[in-house]
């Protein structure tokens, strides 16, 4: 079985040196123990031990030499074992292991296959560090995701800042327009007030001139203020009498006009009746001749 896509793994890096058995995480691969060695020894003593061949690179055992048995062994050993993150392949009767390379966004990238067991049937040390590499990669990716979220948040904040600046600029423009309009309105009102004051001052000046002229006239008439007051009252009464007289004259003229109109209408009626009487008094021949002329 061939691995689709692999990534070289450097065990000399900090990520490669991190052991799955370090820290609080449950190790992906089992630690060496005497039970495994005893199982191997017991298998070699079996009557069918000649079916197994011991070499320097690996030991082909019925319970270690197949992918399914190795995978089942990992599942039985670790309760939180995730088989989706581990790929076991069989090549030349040997089981090789790859872990998912989390440095790539898709899930079809795996580390370079390595032997799962050594010549003694123990888990190889460099293979055990693959889990540490994977955990370190996941941690780095989580930090990268956090940084990406922070960058996205900062961009969002920058966008909000730009929007805020645009709104503030628009507010300042509108506020300036309002201030200009208010200033023009105040200037217009001030101009109106100035014109009204000028008109008031002009009226006051004319009033003073009239008062002076009136006082001079009183001096010329050698009249006291009381006499001038009485004269003013008399003049006012005369003016009122004149207005009443004019109103009475207008009323009389209207009555006369209506009466003249009635007289004219009456005279017209009399003339028409007189014509009828005259027409009836004429002989029959003259009336017929008059009708023919008409």
Q: Which residue has the higher pLDDT, 79 or 247?
A: 247
User: End-to-end distance of the chain based on CA atoms, in angstroms?
Assistant: 142
Rounded mean pLDDT of the chain?
A: 70
For residues 126 and 49, what is the distance between their CA atoms, to the nearest angstrom? Answer: 29
Q: Which residue has the higher pLDDT, 163 or 220?
A: 163
Q: What is the pTM of this model?
A: 0.30
Return the DSSP state at 56: S
- Any idea which residue has 């390379």 for tokens? 101
Instruction: Check residue 46 and give left, alpha or beta (phi > 0: left; psi -120 to 50: alpha).
Output: beta
Residues 92-126: tens digit of each pLDDT:
778 888 877 766 666 677 778 878 776 776 666 55
Return the DSSP state at 18: -
Domain boundaries, the chain: 67-138, 140-222, 225-265
Confidence of residue 246 (pLDDT cuts 50, 70, 90): confident
Q: Which residue has the higher pLDDT, 137 or 37?
A: 137
For residues 145 and 294, what is the distance between their CA atoms, to the nearest angstrom? Answer: 123
Please report the pLDDT score of residue 77 as a whole number: 62
SS3 of residue 89 by DSSP:
strand
């Amino acid at each position: 079985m061939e691995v689709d896509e692999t990534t070289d793994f450097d065990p000399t890096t900090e990520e490669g040196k991190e052991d799955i058995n370090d820290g609080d995480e449950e190790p992906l691969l089992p630690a060496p123990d005497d039970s495994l060695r005893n199982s191997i020894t017991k298998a070699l003593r079996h009557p069918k031990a000649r079916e197994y061949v011991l070499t320097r690179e690996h030991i082909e055992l019925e319970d270690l030499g197949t992918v399914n048995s190795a995978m089942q062994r990992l599942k039985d050993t670790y309760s939180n074992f995730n088989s989706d993150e581990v790929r076991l392949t069989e090549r030349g009767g040997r089981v090789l292991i790859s872990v998912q390379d989390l440095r790539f966004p898709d899930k079809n990238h795996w580390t370079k296959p390595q032997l799962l067991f050594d010549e003694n049937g123990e888990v190889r040390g460099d293979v055990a560090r693959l889990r540490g590499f994977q955990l370190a990669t996941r941690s780095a990716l989580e930090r990268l995701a956090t940084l990406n979220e922070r960058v996205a948040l900062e961009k969002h904040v920058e966008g909000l800042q730009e929007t805020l600046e645009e709104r503030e600029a628009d507010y300042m423009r509108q506020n300036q327009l309002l201030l200009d309009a208010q200033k023009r309105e105040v200037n217009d009102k001030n101009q109106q007030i100035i014109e009204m004051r000028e008109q008031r001052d002009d009226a006051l000046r004319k009033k003073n001139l009239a008062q002076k002229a009136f006082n001079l006239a009183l001096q010329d008439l050698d009249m006291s203020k009381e006499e001038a007051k009485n004269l003013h009252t008399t003049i006012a009464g005369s003016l009122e009498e004149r207005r009443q007289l004019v109103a009475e004259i207008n009323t009389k003229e209207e009555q006369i006009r209506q009466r003249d109109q009635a007289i004219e209408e009456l005279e017209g009626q009399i003339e028409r009746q007189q014509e009828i009487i005259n027409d009836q008094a004429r002989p029959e021949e003259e009336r017929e001749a008059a009708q023919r002329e008409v």
